[in-house]
Amino acid sequence: MYKEILRSIDNIEIYPILSLIIFLLFFVGMFIWVVNTPKDHIRHMESLPFDENDSTSHQP
């Protein structure tokens, strides 16, 4: 039943390719964001769990 439904959809072969492209673009974008994030911001975020102050609005 499902095979017949999928066969009736025109250009269905493009969907796996599009999903792979979206998947790869997401991870490439995340990699670029991580590489370009300032080191001060990363140090601030990694010290938040150990910070004794309750304020999280202060950023270096």
Percent of the chain topping pLDDT 90: 43
Percent of the chain topping pLDDT 70: 87
Token couple for 48? 């938040």
Dist CA 19 CA 45 (whole Å): 32
Query: Would you say residue 60 has pLDDT above 70?
Result: no
Query: In the predicted model, what is the mean pLDDT of the chain?
Result: 86
pTM score, whole prediction: 0.58
Dist CA 58 CA 60 (whole Å): 7
pLDDT in tens, 27-53: 999 999 999 999 999 898 888 888 776
Alpha helices for the chain (secondary structure H): 2-8, 14-36, 39-47
**3-state class of 12 per DSSP?**
coil
